[in-house]
Structure 1
Amino acid sequence: MTRFLLVPGRGVPFANHWSRQWARAHRHYRWAPEPPGAPYLVEDRVAALQAAVAASQDPAILIAHSAGCLTVAWWARQFTGPVTAALLVTPPQTGDVPREPLPFRSIVVVSRDDPHGTFAHGQQLARDWGGELFDAGPVGHLDSSSGFGPWPDGEKLVARLAGPG
């Protein structure tokens, strides 16, 4: 049975955020880690993701938003596990981030008007990580403040990743 691990960004997503809605709607979706109130410390987030991945040998698909995408890249640099794919949604433009190809399939979702990163930066991350680029259009940071709520296109992308490679 495939596990779906939601990797949060820096902050706590609002109750109507698509990731919160998915966690409530799908019994196989788990937080890795539960959205914290504490500051984002990459070492803590990577350790929490590793604990969640290592908790089972069942295949896992990672679903990361914002700084959670960076957590996934740092995790992949240090660990291996039964991860088969990742949906990486609106990675922020920040300083140091691993640029090696990820050892699993990925789709990198990039916004045309993300206040936390340019489209060109997202394109480059998709190339560096060996992922497929998904141009989401002008969707801001694809979060509650941008009007997401429900995100049916994201659910279709997860279904693609869960299907045959």
Structure 2
Amino acid sequence: MNHSKVLLLPGWYNSGAAHWQSLWEAQHGYVRVQQHDWERPLRGDWQIQLEETILARDTDRTGPVVLVAHSLGCILVAAWAAHSRNTHRVQGALLVAPGDAEREELRGQLPSWSPIVRQRLPFPSILLGSRNDPYCGFDRAQGLAADWGARFIDYGERGHINADSGLGDWPEGHALLQTLMQPPA
């Protein structure tokens, strides 16, 4: 299986060493989309970085990529997909614990991320939401999944589904990723 086809899209402040995204990168050789500024993210800049990373992949030879987004990375996928002419290069997306950039306490710190793009994604996607995520209400996560056409998974009370959630290398999430990596029927 071509592991370089998986692109990791961390959220605000990147994913630390104990985060499942970082563990997957180390264990499986997945590619992290690097951003210019993890602390003061600009939506347009992040979209360009994702676009350039996808264009740098030889998808004609290796096949389309699969996106694995966490938090603000989920909002990035929706924004990018609404504007890119290269969505055909994406096979699917695993969207984990979207960060609600429209929340009052986040809007001022992330001004370029509102409003959240709510167009249907042009590729299959799975969104996992937590009932006690401090950065996105459960109903809000369900609404984003519906707007984006994503299969929604209620992941119970797992916080922000990050390193603080005690998931380690998160085998359950990796199993979901494998379903998105299967060739389309």
Where does residue 90 of structure 1 map in the other structure? 97
Shift in Å, 1:146: 2.4
Where does residue 51 of structure 1 map in the other structure? 52
Where does residue 28 of structure 2 map in the other structure? 26
Where does residue 76 of structure 2 map in the other structure? 71
Say which SS state the counterpart of residue 153 (structure 2) adopts.
strand
Residue 159 (structure 1) aligned with residue 181 (structure 2): no
The residue type paired with residue 66 of structure 1 is S
Q: TM-score, normalized by length of structure 2?
A: 0.83
What is the distance in 1 between the residues matched to 2:44 and 2:36? 15
Residue 125 (structure 1) aligned with residue 144 (structure 2): yes
The answer to which of 138-147 and 98-107 deviates more is 138-147
Shift in Å, 1:144: 1.4
Where does residue 107 of structure 2 map in the other structure? none
Q: Which runs of 5+ in 2 are unaligned?
A: 103-114
Q: Which runs of 5+ in 1 are unaligned?
A: none
Match of 1:116 among 125, 130, 135: 135
Shift in Å, 1:92: 1.5
Where does residue 80 of structure 1 map in the other structure? 85
1:73–1:98 contact (8 Å) kept in structure 2? yes
Residue 16 (structure 1) aligned with residue 23 (structure 2): no
Query: What are the superposed Cα offsets for residues 27-83 of structure 1, whole Å, 9 maximum, x if unpaired?
Result: 2x1011258544111111111000111112421000000000011111001103200
Where does residue 109 of structure 2 map in the other structure? none
1:12–1:35 contact (8 Å) kept in structure 2? no
What is the distance in 2 between the residues matched to 1:106 and 1:70? 13
Residue 102 (structure 1) aligned with residue 121 (structure 2): yes
The residue type paired with residue 73 of structure 2 is G
1:62–1:83 contact (8 Å) kept in structure 2? yes
Where does residue 140 of structure 1 map in the other structure? 159
1:8–1:35 contact (8 Å) kept in structure 2? no
Higher strand share: 1
What is the distance in 1 between the residues matched to 2:126 and 2:36? 22
Say which SS state the counterpart of residue 155 (structure 2) adopts.
strand
Say which SS state the counterpart of residue 137 (structure 1) adopts.
coil
Give me the identity figure in percent.
37
Q: TM-score, normalized by length of structure 1?
A: 0.93
Shift in Å, 1:94: 2.4
Query: What are the superposed Cα offsets for residues 143-163 of structure 1, whole Å, 9 maximum, x if unpaired?
Result: 112223221111011001111
Shift in Å, 1:19: 0.3
1:86–1:104 contact (8 Å) kept in structure 2? yes
Say which SS state the counterpart of residue 109 (structure 1) adopts.
strand
The answer to which of 17-26 and 140-149 deviates more is 140-149
